[in-house]
Amino acid sequence: MAGASLAMPAVVRGEESVFDMMSRGNVLRNVDKDGNTAAAQALIATNEPILSFDTVYNLQLAISQYEPFVANGGWEEIPQEAFRLSIGKSGASVIGLKRRLISSGDMVLVPNVNDLFDEATDRGVRSFQARHGLIVNGQVDEPTWYAMNVPAATRLQQLYLNYTRVQNMAANLSERYVVVNIPAATIEAVAGGMVEQRHTAVVGRVDRATPILASKIHQINFNPYWHVPKSLVERDLTKYMQENPSYLAEQNIFIYDGSGNVIDPQSIDWTNLGNAVNYMYRQEPGAANSMGHCKINFFNPHDVYLHDTPSKALFGENARFHSSGCVRVEGVNELVTWLLRDNGDWDGGRVNQTFDSLERLDVSLSSQVPIHTTYITAWANRQGTVSFRDDVYEFDAQGKVSFEA
């Protein structure tokens, strides 16, 4: 937990001897970066859901830790010079970095702090990055530097808001459910109060936000056609066709009129929006299909859904807010298998085989599974690890704790 102590360790200074340099070299050569990453990820990779009654209790404990710490001034900002620090660097900025990591509980409190970015510092930075949903690389990169300079008082306010949010939602949870946490861009498949699967996601960007709702997943579309929404025709498709007249052919998208007749793209005036939106645009199943190998349907008035994607590289980014409201799922075959577990012989092998076959197939779930798309920017687990995410849609700034229409 943050706020272990405001009594910062003393600073050890002095000229470095040859023996000091040799010792430093030995330390740096023996740094277990992979082990530090694994330890950092273990802090958050528990089977406790982000959304549960347990989270309410864990947030209460986190608040009780943060309140006295914030009352005493919180943590210090790290200096601008700490930007881009990594293993082996030294200087006064490293001291500031260590003080910041100690104050938030990412490094243990020690009697003395020197100015070397050593293994303990590397482990602390990776711990901080894991708790904030950042790429775990042990470097004070731009997202890490900005996250470290968020005031403790702001983090406490996040804890207050999310305590109320989770408390409001927890009473409506069932034995088995799916949670999409938008600020974290993650998905959890929960059963019996435990996370059985966790998936990285890509969610809606700020101007095309993923809606917050509670619904039920009822159907899987294998190798679906993608019908381009009218909003995307207006905003994107007409622009792409003006820039590249071969765009539709390259994306395997066909145009149909109201009678189902195929229309030649060259016959459409792409500078005339009123003309372009009068047609239906359908992308065929295949590797380039925007929904990948499957679409996961749940009841909602916004025409949003979960789906596969051919753009796998986006899952490796820090900020995964790129979609037009729908949610892309990494490892979607595993989630589909989990959703279809009550549908007889739909095991992982059959799911993967159906993906590969490109067969168009719709399967209704024998047991519909509740889904909650949520907005949780702070949570804690039983072992005391507190996680934070950016307020991407600025709901924290608005003080929103309820999202009912």
Cα of first residue to Cα of last residue in the chain, in angstroms, is: 35
Beta bridge partners of 372: 179, 214
CA 3 → CA 26, 44, 116, 118, 126, distances in Å? 33, 19, 23, 23, 19
| Catalytic choice (132, 199, 294, 326) | 326
294 belongs to the catalytic site = no
Distance CA 96, CA 83 (A): 11
| Catalytic choice (199, 307, 322, 372) | 307
307 belongs to the catalytic site = yes
Give me the long-range contacts of 122-125 (CB less than 8 A, separation at least 24): 122/31, 122/33, 122/36, 122/86, 122/87, 123/36, 123/39, 123/40, 124/98, 125/97, 125/101
Helix H or strand E encompassing 27 = helix 18-29
Distance CA 191, CA 174 (A): 9
Q: β-strands 253-256, 378-380: how paired?
A: unpaired
Catalytically annotated residues:
307, 326
